[in-house]
Amino acid sequence: MAAASLARRETMLDVVYEDYTAYGHLTDDELLQMAIERSLSEDQQGPSEYAQACFIPASEPPREEDIPTEARQVYAARQNAALQRQRAAAAENPEVNPSRVGNTFDEERVRLLEWKKRYGNEGLVEKTATHAPSIKSAIWNDDAKTFKQILMTEPAESLNKPNEEGWIHLHDAAYYNAAECLKLLLQAFPDLVNKRNDENQTPLLVAVGRKNLACVQVLINAGGDPNIATRTGETAVYKACEMGTEEILDALLKAGGNPCRANIERNTPLHEAVGTKNVNMVKMLVEAGAKTWTTDSYGVEPLFTASQCGAADVLNYFIKLGGNINTQANDGATALYEASKNGHEECVKILLSKRADVNRTTKLGLTPLHVASKNGHVNVVLLLLPLTSKGKIRRSGISPLHLAAEINQDEVLEILIQEGLDVNMQLSTEYSKMYEDRPSTALYFAVKASNVEGASMLLEAGANPNLDVFNPLLVAVRKDNMEMASLLVEYGANVNASMPTHPTTFPAAMLFCMKHRNMFKMLLDNGLDADACFDCVYGNNTHPPVKIHRSSRDNLYLHGLMAPHTSTAQFCEVMADPLHSPWVGMILDMLLDYTGHVKLCSRLSNLLDNISNGRYIKDKAKPPFPLLHLCRVNIRKQVGHQRMKQMTSLPLPKLLIRFLFYDNSESENLLSQCGCL
């Protein structure tokens, strides 16, 4: 079978070569005439042998690989030669339309594939110069002369046969802007002017969607109905407004197009025209009877849409007509809210000049200032801020500061702080529950976003770093953000803060920095309670096994480490977790520098027995402790970590200050030698 097929293809290839050599001397007009005759005869007798060889059955899509390579090469050579002749003719005669000059092989194939999608394999043009242009290619090129000849010879049934999507040649002529071919079709088949495809589209709707003004005029003159709608309720008038074609809209309205008919979402042509910001189209619709107060399924009026898309001229026009400047959508958003949301400064100015209510809120309680702050529209914020009620902001349950801090809108944040908004305003319960970690303050959002500059502005303005359920310091420590953590500690963040969801007997911050020596030491220097790590309820007795359970989620919560007999996790139980046990030596070594008389429980002792420097750490934990060390620990406890920072301003020896702050071991040696302690 394969050999027979190959032999047949070779025979067909010979036919192809013969066609080119036999008729190569003919002119284009002579070739065209011959092709027409051959096309008519083949339509009656069936496809030629070449067509059968080069094109696959109608049930399959055309593929380039199904055409013999040699045939494609010969065809391409012929096409290129014809293209050069046509370009030369166009250069000699300026009246020749350059857009009608021939196409390359690839361009023709793209057209064939596009046509196949609509009409199947029937009527596919054979890709040889000796085949006449079909009705499809005539439409592509708006070739009225050829088209007329085909109309005279083709049966009406084949000319009006719809494809699988319901398209007929009228639709295609409208789509490809073939106005001359469209006129011929309408003369031949005037009753099909409003023929609908499977989507309920008429040729007029297709022409409007493609912005083909000439075809629109032809169809209107032939009786095209501008009020037939698609399955989604879109008429030709609606489509013209959507496409922003002023001339086409004018023609449709003059032809009786309905300016008020909405689609299935109750969106009207006026809504669509406003979206294009074309004030002339809006005026045409209003003068034709469009209602300016009509709302869509979301409760949106055209004036609202004008504010939403920044159509200032259209907005002014509606206001002059008496439009409601405080119009609200179903969610409570106002026109001013939408203009502020999208940063349309000119529209905001217009609405404010007409005294639009700046304190009217959405159903969630948000004002225009809230949404402008969130989106970082600085100039809009400056316009709204003096007019917005601070009482309204407090009652809303969320401050613009929260929204600005959440997405690092530092410039807006600074403006809001300078205006005096409460930096310690906490989210309402309803808003806080929208977040998994239950934040309360704007500072928390800034810390979570690792926005040091924003956090610094808030802290300098008096933000309290200890108001949130999860202390912002825990967030900074978990992120290993030393700069942020140091900033929070400087402004009084509680280094011994706990996690209410997973209580521990020791400071929760330790859970997030056991691998980070510098962070761990910074917290210890600033008052982290090291003694709490050695308070074990079991002491030297046998400890129950630790049940470790983890979550794959990376959040603030304690992932595991809960002893079966206690409701609060202990330090020794945490260190027994394989996730932390590799650092047990380093951690205990540092902790012992900040404690007095402590005892290692049996679990910590067992852990130290399994590491190389375990014996050294055990010896370090045994009494007696150096007096110098005990004095330092006792002074720090008596003074308290909050007041320790003030000691640098006291008239004390620098070596003593360095010693108290664990500056380095050298200070300890010098103090011992000089007898200061």
Share of the chain above pLDDT 90, in %: 53
**By the 8 A CB rule, do 468 and 439 touch?**
yes
> Residue 20: which of 79, 101, 66 has the closest Cα?
79
- For residue 43, what pLDDT is reported? 40
**Cα dihedral: 90, 95, 98, 99 (round 10):** -150
Residue 308 forms part of a structural domain? no
Strand partners, 334: 328
pLDDT value at position 61? Answer: 41
Confidence of residue 109 (pLDDT cuts 50, 70, 90): very low
Choosing from 104, 132, 160, the residue where a domain stops is: 132
Residues 158, 529: Cα–Cα separation, whole Å: 92
Question: What's the CATH code of the domain at 170?
Answer: 1.25.40.20
Whether residues 604 and 633 fall in one domain: no
- 121 and 2 in a single domain? The answer is yes
pLDDT level of residue 127 (50, 70, 90 thresholds): very low
What range does the domain containing 275 cover?
A: 226-291
pLDDT at 67 exceeding the cut of 70: no
- Least confident piece of the model among 130-134, 472-476, 661-665: 130-134
Cα separation values, 643 from 96, 492, 639, Å: 92, 10, 6
**Exposure b/e, 592-623, CB count within 10 A at least 16 = b:** bebbeebebbebbbebbeebeebeebeeebee
Is the pLDDT score of 677 beyond 70? no
Are 617 and 515 contained in the same domain? yes
Q: Give the confidence band of 152 by pLDDT, cuts at 50, 70, 90.
A: confident
Kindly write down the DSSP assignment for every residue of 465-479, as one continuous string.
Answer: TT-SSS-HHHHHHHT
**Which residue among 622, 637, 654 closes a domain?**
622
The mean pLDDT value for 78-87 works out to 59
SS3 605: helix
Q: Specify the number of domains making up the chain.
A: 7
Beta pairing partners, 569:
504
Bridge partners, 547 (sequence order)? 562
Domain assignment of residue 637, yes or no: yes
Count the Cβ atoms, other than its own, within 10 Å of residue 35.
19
Q: Are 458 and 442 in contact (CB under 8 A)?
A: yes
Phi, psi of 334 (to 5 degrees): -100, 170
pLDDT above 90 (res 258): yes
Q: In this structure, are 243 and 338 located in the same domain?
A: no
Q: For the segment 575-596, what is each residue's pLDDT rounded down to a tens digit?
A: 888 888 888 989 998 899 888 8
Q: Has residue 309 been placed in a domain?
A: no
118 and 27 in a common domain: yes
pLDDT at 7: 41
Provide the β-strand partners of residue 562: 547
Length of the chain: 677
Task: Provide the sign of the torsion angle of the four alpha carbons 34, 36, 41, 43, taken in this order.
Answer: positive
CA distance 456 to 491: 9
144 pLDDT more than 50: yes
Q: Burial of 426 by CB count in 10 Å (0-12 exposed, 13-18 middle, 19+ buried)?
A: buried
Structure tokens at 216: 């629109």
552: left (phi over 0), alpha (psi -120 to 50) or beta: alpha
- The larger pLDDT score, comparing residue 664 to residue 606, is at 606
306 inside domain: no
Q: Given phi > 0 = left and psi -120 to 50 = alpha, else beta, which region is 211?
A: left
Examine the fold and report which residue of 82, 117, 132 is the final residue of a domain before the chain moves on.
Answer: 132
In a domain? residue 634: yes
Task: Identify whether residues 526 and 590 lie together within a single domain.
Answer: yes
The reply to whether 153 and 272 lie within a common domain is no
Q: Is residue 532 situated within a structural domain?
A: yes
Q: What is the pLDDT of residue 180?
A: 93
- C-alpha 248/C-alpha 271 separation (Å) is 17
Residues 517, 495: Cα–Cα separation, whole Å: 16
Q: What is the CA angle 130-124-194, rounded to 5?
A: 125
Round to the nearest angstrom and report the end-to-end CA distance of the chain.
107
One domain, residues 557 and 670: no
Rounded CA-CA distance 490/485 in Å is: 9
Residue 141 sits in the same domain as residue 32: no
Q: Is the dihedral of CA 153, 159, 161, 165 positive or negative?
A: positive
Q: Are 33 and 92 in a shared domain?
A: yes
Residue 45: what pLDDT?
Answer: 39
Distance CA 631, CA 637 (A): 10
Residue 604 lies in a domain: yes
Whether 548 shows a pLDDT value over 90: the answer reads no
Beta carbons within 8 Å of 189's beta carbon, 6+ residues apart: 156, 159, 160, 170
* Bond into 624 cis (ω within 30): yes
Q: Are residues 446 and 347 part of one domain? A: no
At residue 29's C-alpha, the angle toward residues 64 and 184, to 5°, is 80
> What letter does residue 599 receive in the DSSP assignment?
-
CB atoms within 10 A of CB 662: 17
Residue 300 lies in a domain: no
The mean pLDDT of 68-73, rounded to a whole number, is 52
Q: What pLDDT shows up at residue 466?
A: 96
pLDDT at 441 over 50: yes
pLDDT for 638 equals 81
Instruction: Provide the β-strand partners of residue 125.
Output: none
DSSP annotation string for 287-348: HTT--TT---TT---HHHHHHHHT-HHHHHHHHHTT--TT-B-TTS-BHHHHHHHTT-HHHH
124 and 137 co-located in one domain: no
Tens digits of residue pLDDT in 273-300: 999 999 999 999 999 999 999 999 999 9
pTM for the predicted model, two decimal places: 0.72
- List the one residue out of 470, 456, 361 whose CA is nearest residue 408: 456
